[in-house]
């Protein structure tokens, strides 16, 4: 079974942030990854904990799911969409793309 793709690119996310559009950046990486770098204001819930914490996520505004490169976050985005989050989007390229294209001073790993 092929996964549906629900991607948003880093430039679109940067535009949402600049325009102050209400959204959540959901960081699903491991704690050690988050300690290295994170998008300001993001909400951290490790990937394995998502099923137990879905109630804290908004269904009313976009949820932008991010990991390191976008692979894990694509799976979580699909999971959220299959559980009624029609506003869930995968950050294509993850925090690596964000650090390269939007915040070049951000540490990379």
**Catalytically annotated residues:** 67
Whole-angstrom distance, CA of residue 49 vs CA of residue 37: 20
Phi and psi of 56, rounded to 5°? Answer: -85, -5
Q: Number of C-alpha atoms within 13 angstroms, CB side, residue 96? A: 10
**Strand, coil or helix: what is 99?**
helix
Whole-angstrom distance, CA of residue 46 vs CA of residue 24: 15
């799911």: which residue's tokens? 65
């Amino acid at each position: 079974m092929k996964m549906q793709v629900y991607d948003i690119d880093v430039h679109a996310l940067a535009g949402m942030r600049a325009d102050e559009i209400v959204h959540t950046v959901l960081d699903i990486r491991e704690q050690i990854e988050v300690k290295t770098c994170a998008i300001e204001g993001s909400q951290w819930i490790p990937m394995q904990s998502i099923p137990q914490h879905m109630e804290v996520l908004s269904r009313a505004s976009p949820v932008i799911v991010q990991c390191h490169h976008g692979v894990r976050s694509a799976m979580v985005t699909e999971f959220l969409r299959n559980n009624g989050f029609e506003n869930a989007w995968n950050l294509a390229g993850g925090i690596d793309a964000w650090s390269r294209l939007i915040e070049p001073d951000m540490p990379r790993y």
